[in-house]
Each structure stands twice: as structure tokens, then as C-alpha cells.
């Protein structure tokens, strides 16, 4: 029988990142292609101890169905942290637990967008979010991302020319893939524009805890006087990515719709690990643990930037992140990066092509993404060396 | 600001079951309203031991991102069980892990249905599935469910009069809410009709392992010569519901679309618990464990049916399940069950109104659902007594 698929999924291809991941089964490849946290960031001993205690004392509830909104003590602990760490006023908002940060983004779009509606995004942007919007039949419209954030004028023009725009999707801090953090001034302007046109902002902040240099910039949610920001984040980069525990803090009315949508997607998030997150947050030293991850990633990023500074030809530009997991590199003269990336892979170094992060899936890209959280120090030195030699051969006359 | 919601979610209300759950915080209420497995069905000691071992020896992979399709050894173990236990030929099919059985149902609809398409369901049917279809903008069209299954003639008429029907959703074994199991003869006829009209069958089989009397009826998937059946099930009723681990076995081409959709919903299912399920399946006595659950539920069902037989006025009809979790009761003369259910709740017994399971959300119902897996034996006796007295007062002149 010939199967017929829904229009919204028919066009959706498995992500380029996943395809690259599959090629990574070759252990001789140096991978800068990951989006994974370092396994050193998992507090294994503490999680094991708390887990044993949950099995011993709370198994009957931990293994049973829970509520869709999430485990109440965890929701409260997350709210407290949002207040204390990110100055987020949660009045008029609801905090729920999601199956990773990914689900929060997807549910927000499902609650707000009809097919044919548009989501305006930084270009480049996180492929998982772009595909979540597309899977709901929404268009993704890009506004170019610069070092200070997206250009407010271009944003306003795009909104005016996109009457069906419902959502503005932003990763303002340590952006994936670009690694840049938008300035406070930029955020204020962008917020005013969203407010003026009645556009809901999804603020995706999975890396917000991972600053290793510079100073924090206030989140959009902390300045959300109009209650138009849905804040999505997760424990993936600070406790465990494989456990799939994230959270959303957003306007009550919107979040209650997202809860209805979540109920039919997975009923609720793994309850045992929700309890584990709560126990870790309230009984162990979360801040001390995060400080360790920051130090680790700061050292790895410094190493990779140092190697790039030493070895890369000057015609290759790259961002200088103050946190997060990624450096974004751009080839000279708008040259498409696809040949370079293919050649790098044949020399056993994997990076992610910029095309994977394009709002317009057909557009070429002159860029690629480097990850520094996963490779060893030795591989960082060796891999950048290979990339730099290749760049000299290809782009230095 | 006034928020605008997507059309497909605007009409979706939180489920009636959830609302009833909220009223259950009163500990003096006897609840026959649950859909939960008994906590006695969780193999806590084994899960705790295996969990400690995973933390000790496999934490770096168990806590890291995994693949969207699921943990390969678990997928293989599930395939093996589908072959050996349910005679399912997995050739041409793919088995993936989902975040509970719920997600499999939702993804199947997302992959196949455009907004306005129709899903034909047994009436009554599982509210979580009905809402999953509605959340994808699909209509739910009911075909009345009788003791032997849905009437093939009515099904064919419904398909003919519903040109946009894409899916036939069935819970053929120990149906939720009705507790009935469709006959092999019925299944054969229904399968032929689906085949004739090119309709994909979702076979939802979360209770298939829970037979405590009678003999197994072959699954649709085991007779799926045309590869038109998507089989959804889960570990919720045999290991733990709170962990949210389910699985799907369906045509490769359809499942590959579901994987793309799953990737944007939650990236993958909690990997630690996938590994835990695999370890339990391959290193512990799953069949012995399930035998214990069957015995428990068989005793509870026998007790509840015995009390109903003894006390309920004859004008109240109810099904006699051979497995699963539910008994379905019907009032005489098509009287709406809403007054009776309200009066029962005021006497501290909670049941789920039949309206919650209607394909047509506006239709009344003369029925209600009783659960026997959760209440204690004492509460079963006491609760049925209250329900029977009330029924005598209201329906026996």
C-alpha cells in the first residue's frame, strides 16, 4: 500500500545534525559536531545516592502516573530559582515541567499557531525549534543575527510584511548555533517591538547557567511587564540531557493550553527524574555543581579560541562566546561552506554545516558550527589544526 | 494582552478524568475513577538494584542524549517479545521507543492526518487518544462498540460516508473504557474492511499482557499481511506508568515519519529508564512478574463483579472483562448517567462518566467506568454497596 502523509510532516526531513551523528560511529573521527554536554557535567554520585533513596522511600509515587503540569515540589523549586537567579517575576505566570526544553518550544507553537502562521526567528537558529515550528505547519521567517542580537529595524520590517506572524523565537544568551549573546539595549528594543505588534516571544534559554566570562544580561522574561514572554529552559546542560526534564514559565492562560497539548503528547514527564531533580536542587549544591561546569567549558572554549587564533587564516571569522557550547565560523566572501565541510570530514573532523540552522531550508550558508564541550583537549588542538590547514589550502591564495 | 490560540487547541478542554482526579484529593472518597496500575505491580526491588548498577557502570551514556528511535538493545528486546508473545512478524516494520503509549498514538495521527481529516474510533474510546486526534485537527467519528467488537457493517458505512477518513483507531483487547475484547472473527472482518478502503489501523494494546481469564485473541498486527497496522503499547501497566516508556511497531515508512515528529516533540525518551526496561526484560523474570499482576487483577475483578452481581439491581448492565483494568456499567432505558454519578460522588464514591469517552463530545451517555486495579478489597466492597443502594433508590420503582 502507498502511504499518504500529512502535509506538515511530508516536507520535514530528518535533521542534518542527526545524519552527521550517524557518520560519527567512526571512532577515528574528531567530532566538533555535537550539541551534547560533557559527561563530566553529570553529578553521577549524587544522582545515584538520591535515586537509591527515592526507590527506598518514594517508589510507589515515583513509578506511578503523575500530573501533566509536573511534580509540584519541582515546579516550586524551579520558580524559586527563576526568581533568585534570573530575577523573573512569576506572578500571572505558570511554571510547568516539560520533556526537555524541546517540548516547551513545540507546545508553545502548537498552542498559538495555525497552519500557515509564521514564527520569526534569529537566522541562524536552533534546528530543533525550527523543525518544531514546521511540524505544526508554521513558516519560519529569519531575521539576520549579528553580534549584538537581531537588528530591531529589520525585525520591525519583517513583522510588518508578515501579517500572520504569531511568535518571535529567540535564544538571546549564548545562542545556538552562533554563540552570541544579545545586548541589553538590543533586548529592550526587540521587546518593545514585540509588544507594539502583539507578538509572543519564546525565550529559549538552555545555556543561561553556563556563563564563564563577562556579566549576565537580564532575560526577556525578567523585563516582561506585558506578560508576552514564554520562557523555556531545561536541566539538560546542568544535570543530564538524557533524562529529558525541562520547564516552561509563561502566561497562565497560554501555559494552560500547553498543558492540554502536553497531556495528549506524553501525559507527563518521567516522574522519577522529576523527583530526582527536585531532590538535587534542594539537597545538594546546585550552584557549586554549575560552577564546576562553567570552569570546564570556560577552559575548553579558551583552548579552542586560542588554537583558532594561532592557526586559522585571518579570512575565517568566528564568534567569541562568553558561555554555552558553540563557536560559529564564517568563510570569506560568502563562499558556501559545504565543500569545506565535506573535505574536513574526509580528513576526519566533523562540524555542523550552517545550512542546518537556516530558517530558509533552501538557502546556502557560508558558516559552520564548532562544539567545544565534548571533544578532549587533545582533540581540540588536533582538530583545529586540521581545519586550519584545510582553510589555508582552500582560501589563502 | 488578549491571547489568540490555535484553532485545533482552542476547542480542546482538559479531560473530564483530570477534573475528577482533582476532586480525589479528598482521602475519604472511594475512587473507582483511576486508570492507574496498582503500585503492587511495580517491581521496585529489581528496578532499584538494576538502577544502582546503571549508575555504577553506564552513567555516562544513560544520562547523555540518545537517539530519537530509542535505545537499540531495548528496541531489539521489544521486537523479540512482540514476535514470541504476540506472533507479530516485524519484517518491513520498525520498532521505536515512545514517551508512553500515548505518544505513539499522537505521532501516528500527526504523521498521517491533515486538519479536517477523520479518525474512526470505537465509541466509547480512550479519551487520551481522542484528544490526541483532536489536537492534530482531526475529527473523531465513532462506531458503536458491542461485546464482540465494532459492527463491521456500520464500520463500512461510516468509512463510505467519511471520505477523509485516514485512520481506524482500535483498542481490541480489554478495551478502555468498556473492558471488552473483540472476537477473532470480528477482527478478521474489520481488517478486511480497512484493507479494502486503504485505512491505516492504530492498534492500541496497553493491556494485552493483562489477561486473567479466557484465551488470547490474535492481535491485528499479527495478521497484518498488508502492513497497514501501527501497533502501540507500553510498559506502563507492567513495570511503571510514571517512567513514560512505550513503543510502536509499524510500517517502516510511516514510523520514519513518526521519528521525525518525535524528534521535535522531545528528542527522545528518558534514556536511563529505557536502559532499565531493557535490563529488566533481559535479566529478570518479566513473565513471572506479569503473572503476579494478572493474578492480582483477576482477584480484584472477580471481587468487584461478585459484589455487583450480589448487590446491583438487575436493570444496571455491566461488562465482564477477562483482563485489563475496567468494568463498564450502563443505566437502564438510556438514562443519562450524569445525575447518578453526581449523587455517587456526594456519597463519596467516584466513577468516570461515559461522556468522557464519547467520540462526539456533545453527546450524553448512559454509562460510567469502574476501575478495580487501584481500590483496596475493602473499598471495592464498600463502594459497590454505595453504588448499588443509590441505583436502587434512583432506578427501581
What digits encode the pLDDT tens for the residues A315-348? 999 999 999 999 999 999 999 999 999 999 999 9
Q: Which of B64, B128, B243 is opposite residue A264, by nearest beta carbon? A: B128
Contacts A21 to B, Cβ<8 Å: 67
Contacts of A4 in chain B (CB under 8 A): 112, 166
**Quick one: average pLDDT of A51-78?**
97
Report the CATH architecture of B7-42+288-395.
Alpha-Beta Complex (3.90)
The 10s digit of each residue's pLDDT in A192-206 is 999 999 999 999 999
How far apart are the C-alpha atoms of B62 and B68, rounded to whole Å? 14
Q: How many CB atoms lie within 10 A of CB A18?
A: 16
- Which among A14, A117, A251 has CB closest to B3? A251
User: What is d(CA A146, CA B189) in angstroms, rounded to the nearest whole number?
Assistant: 62
List, for chain B, all residue ranges whose pLDDT scores fall below the cut of 70.
11, 13-23
Q: Do B266 and A37 touch (CB under 8 A)?
A: no
CB distance B64–A42 less than 8 Å?
Answer: yes
Min distance B314 CA to chain A CA atoms (Å): 35
- Chain B residue numbers with beta carbons less than 8 Å from the beta carbon of A253 are 3
Nearest CA distance, A222 vs chain B (angstrom): 17
pLDDT of residue A123: 97
Q: List chain A residues with CB under 8 Å of B136.
A: 6
Q: How far is B219 from chain A (nearest CA, A)?
A: 20
Best mutation target, A138, A242, A259, to test chain B (most B CBs within 10 A): A242
Asked whether A107 and A262 are in contact (CB, 8 A), the reply is yes
Which CATH architecture group holds A65-283? Answer: 3-Layer(aba) Sandwich (3.40)
The DSSP annotation for A107-134 comes to: HHHHHH--TT-EEEEEES--HHHHHHHH
**Distance of alpha carbon B348 from alpha carbon A263, whole angstroms:** 27
Shortest Cα–Cα distance, B215 to chain A (Å): 29
Residue with the larger pLDDT of the pair B212 and A364:
B212
Q: Any idea where the domains of chain B sit in the sequence? A: 7-42+288-395, 61-283
- Number of cross-chain residue pairs from A and B with Cβ atoms under 8 Å apart: 257
Residues of chain A found within 8 Å of residue B255, distances taken between Cβ atoms:
none
Q: Do B102 and A251 touch (CB under 8 A)?
A: no
DSSP class of residue A222? Answer: G
Across chain A, mean pLDDT equals: 95
Residue whose C-alpha cell is 448512559: B366
* Contact yes or no for A64 and B260 at CB 8 A: no
pLDDT recorded at residue A9: 85
- The x, y and z cell numbers of residue A374, run together, are 565534548
- What would the pLDDT profile of B116-150 be if each residue is shown by its tens digit? 999 999 999 999 999 999 999 999 999 999 999 99
Instruction: Report the gap between the CA of A334 and the closest CA in chain B (Å).
Output: 30
pLDDT at A19 over 70: no
**CB distance A286 to B160 below 8 Å:** no
How confident is the model at residue B360, as a pLDDT?
A: 87
ipTM: 0.97
From chain B, pick out residues whose CB is under 8 angstroms from the CB of A115.
Answer: 115, 137
Alpha carbons A50 and A41: distance in angstroms, whole number: 17
Residues of A within 8 A of B277 (CB-CB) are none
- The shortest C-alpha distance from B240 to chain A (Å) reads 5
Coil, helix or strand at residue B182:
coil
Q: How far apart are CA A320 and CA A329, in angstroms?
A: 10
For residue A235, give the chain B residue with the closest CA.
B63
Residue A1: pLDDT band with limits 50, 70, 90: confident
Which chain B positions have a beta carbon within 8 Å of A239's beta carbon?
A: 63
Closest chain A residue by Cα to residue B130: A264
In chain A, residues with a C-beta closer than 8 Å to the C-beta of B15 are: 263
Query: Are A52 and B47 a contacting pair at CB < 8 A?
Result: no
* pLDDT grade for A397, boundaries at 50, 70 and 90: confident
Query: One fold for both A7-42+288-395 and A65-283?
Result: no
Q: Do B266 and A102 touch (CB under 8 A)?
A: yes
Residue A116: pLDDT over 70:
yes
Q: Which of B128, B133, B242, B256 to mutate to test the interface with A (most CBs of A within 10 A)?
A: B242
CA-based nearest distance A296→chain B, Å: 17
Contact A9 B264 (CB under 8 A): no
Residue of A nearest to B8 (CA): A114
- Cell matching residue B102: 500515548
Span of A270-274, A353-357, B15-19 with lowest mean pLDDT: B15-19
Task: Tell me if B64 and A242 make a contact (CB, 8 A cut-off).
Answer: yes
pLDDT over 80 (residue A10): no
Phi, psi of B35 (to 5 degrees): -125, 15
Give B19: exposed, middle or buried? Use CB within 10 Å, 0-12, 13-18, 19+.
Answer: exposed
CA distance B245 to chain A (A): 9
Q: What is the mean pLDDT of residues A292-310?
A: 98
Which among A112, A226, A266 is the nearest to B6, CB-wise?
A112
Q: Are B218 and B184 in contact (CB under 8 A)?
A: yes
Q: From the CA of A235, how many Å to the nearest CA of chain B?
A: 11
**Residue A131 in this model has a pLDDT that exceeds 70:** yes
> Of A37, A191, A228, A264, which to mutate for an interface test with B (greatest number of B Cβ within 10 Å)?
A264
Q: Which of A14, A135, A267 sits opposite B244 (nearest CB)?
A: A267
Question: Could you say which of A44, A66, A135 has the minimum Cβ distance to residue B242?
Answer: A66
Distance in Å, alpha carbon of A54 to nearest chain B alpha carbon: 9
pLDDT at A14 over 70: no
Percent of chain A with pLDDT over 90: 92
Task: Choose the closest CB to A266 out of B48, B134, B266.
Answer: B266
C-alpha cell at position B221: 498486527
Tell me if A9 and B111 make a contact (CB, 8 A cut-off): yes
Closest CA to B46 of B221, B248, B288, B236: B288
Closest of A42, A62, A39 to residue A278, by C-alpha:
A62
What are the grid coordinates assigned to A51, written together?
Answer: 535515586
Q: Could you please state the CATH topology (level 3) that the domain comprising B61-283 is classified under.
A: 3.40.640
Chain B residues with CB-CB distance to A67 below 8 A: 21
Cα nearest neighbour of A226 on chain B? B1
Where b means 16+ CB within 10 Å and e means fewer, B260-294 reads bbbbbbbbbbbbbbbbbbbbbbeebebeebbeebb
Amino acid at each position: 500500500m502507498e502511504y499518504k502523509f500529512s502535509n506538515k510532516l511530508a516536507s520535514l526531513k530528518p535533521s542534518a545534525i542527526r545524519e552527521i551523528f550517524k557518520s560519527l560511529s567512526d571512532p577515528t573521527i574528531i567530532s566538533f559536531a555535537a550539541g551534547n554536554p560533557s559527561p563530566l557535567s553529570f553529578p553521577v554520585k549524587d544522582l545515584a545516592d538520591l535515586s537509591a533513596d527515592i526507590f527506598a522511600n518514594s517508589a510507589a509515587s515515583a513509578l506511578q502516573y503523575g500530573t501533566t503540569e509536573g511534580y509540584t515540589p519541582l515546579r516550586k523549586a524551579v520558580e524559586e530559582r527563576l526568581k533568585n537567579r534570573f530575577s523573573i517575576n512569576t506572578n500571572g505566570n505558570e511554571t510547568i515541567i516539560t520533556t526537555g526544553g524541546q517540548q516547551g518550544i513545540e507546545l508553545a507553537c502548537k498552542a498559538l499557531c495555525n497552519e500557515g502562521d509564521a514564527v520569526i526567528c534569529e537566522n541562524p537558529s536552533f534546528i530543533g525549534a525550527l523543525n518544531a515550528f514546521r511540524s505544526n505547519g508554521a513558516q519560519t521567517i529569519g531575521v539576520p543575527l549579528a553580534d549584538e542580537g537581531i537588528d530591531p529595524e529589520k525585525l520591525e520590517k519583517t513583522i510588518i510584511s508578515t501579517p500572520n506572524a504569531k511568535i518571535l523565537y529567540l535564544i538571546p544568551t549564548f545562542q545556538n548555533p552562533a554563540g552570541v549573546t544579545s545586548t541589553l539595549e538590543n533586548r529592550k528594543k526587540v521587546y518593545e517591538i514585540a509588544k507594539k505588534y502583539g507578538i509572543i516571544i519564546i525565550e529559549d534559554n538552555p545555556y543561561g547557567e553556563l556563563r564563564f566570562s563577562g556579566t549576565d544580561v537580564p532575560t526577556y522574561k525578567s523585563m516582561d511587564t506585558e506578560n508576552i514572554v514564554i520562557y523555556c529552559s531545561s536541566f539538560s546542560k546542568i544535570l543530564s540531557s538524557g533524562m529529558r526534564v525541562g520547564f516552561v514559565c509563561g502566561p497562565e492562560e497560554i501555559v494552560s493550553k500547553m498543558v492540554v497539548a502536553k497531556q495528549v503528547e506524553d501525559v507527563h514527564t518521567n516522574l522519577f527524574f522529576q523527583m530526582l531533580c527536585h531532590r538535587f536542587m534542594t539537597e545538594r549544591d546546585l550552584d557549586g555543581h554549575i560552577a564546576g561546569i562553567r570552569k570546564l567549558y570556560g577552559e575548553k572554549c579558551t583552548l579552542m579560541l586560542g588554537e583558532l587564533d594561532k592557526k586559522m587564516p585571518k579570512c575565517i571569522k568566528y564568534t567569541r562566546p562568553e558561555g554555552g557550547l558553540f563557536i560559529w565560523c564564517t568563510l570569506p566572501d560568502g563562499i558556501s561552506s559545504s565543500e569545506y565541510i565535506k573535505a574536513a570530514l574526509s580528513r576526519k573532523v566533523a562540524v555542523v554545516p550552517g545550512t542546518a540552522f537556516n530558517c530558509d531550508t533552501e538557502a546556502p550558508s557560508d558558516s559552520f558550527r564548532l562544539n567545544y564541550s565534548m571533544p578532549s583537549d587533545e582533540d581540540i588542538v588536533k582538530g583545529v589544526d586540521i581545519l586550519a590547514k584545510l582553510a589555508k589550502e582552500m582560501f589563502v591564495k
